[in-house]
Structure 1
Amino acid sequence: MEGERQQAFRARLIARLEELATGEALGRDGKKVVQLDQQSVGRLSRMDALQSQAMAQAASRMRLAEERRIKAALVRLDEGEFGYCTDCGDEIAAARLKHDPAAALCMSCARG
């Protein structure tokens, strides 16, 4: 893959990492421990708070997984392996990389 395209992919990956870091910082409050004081909050409010906490934790796990994928793609860029399937070694379709620059598998391997 030519250097200009690699730099464009690198820029997109780094920008996405920054977005994820911002999202994680904004989501910290939602992951805090929910106080279960029955005198200050009703049962439905506590259930809503617990559900919100669970959703914030799930979103954080998804951001972390995407961050790992992006960092792995940046390593592949540095090592000259970007754009090639990590399973079979075939080239990953340009359209797939355009859609998801962190893609590590070609479509054949991704399908199983």
Structure 2
Amino acid sequence: MTNPRTALTKRLKTLDAEDAAGLDGQKTVTLDQQAVGRLSRMDALQNQAMAQAQARRRQAERQKIAAALQRLDEGEYGFCTDCGEEIAPARLLADLAIARCLDCTRG
């Protein structure tokens, strides 16, 4: 199994790079109808909304990673935050930042 701290830190750096690359897409769309036609402006607004949604997803993932790194520091990594049971290794491989076992996730 790969070192969770290394993999999580690497993913944070990737998220930072994606944030930097996505800044242009989140900029305000201008209202100048002379420069951009109505359909082009609608496309620009849709692209802006998608870029903002992607930024929110990256922020949520960043929070999950920060919580996983904190669990590593506290010696609680790999254990369900709800029931305290060990999280299946295959589940951790699928998502290193996962916080709950399958039973608790299912409810």
TM-score, length of structure 1 as denominator length: 0.93
Computed over aligned residues only, the root mean square deviation of the Cα atoms, in angstroms, reads 1.0
List alignment gaps of at least 5 residues for structure 1. Answer: none
1:54 to 46, 49, 53: 49
Structure 1 counterpart of 2:73, one-letter code: D
Could you report, residue by residue, the CA deviation over 1:12-45 in whole angstroms, capped at 9, with x for unpaired residues?
A: 0000000000000000010000001111110000
Runs of 4+ residues over 2 Å off in structure 1: none
CA distance in 2, matches of 1:77, 1:32: 37
TM-score, length of structure 2 as denominator length: 0.97
Count of aligned positions: 107
Deviation at 1:111, TM superposition (A): 1.1
List alignment gaps of at least 5 residues for structure 2. Answer: none
CA distance in 2, matches of 1:11, 1:39: 50
CA distance in 1, matches of 2:105, 2:11: 22
CA distance in 1, matches of 2:76, 2:82: 12
The match for 2:83 is: 88
Percent identity among equivalent residues?
61
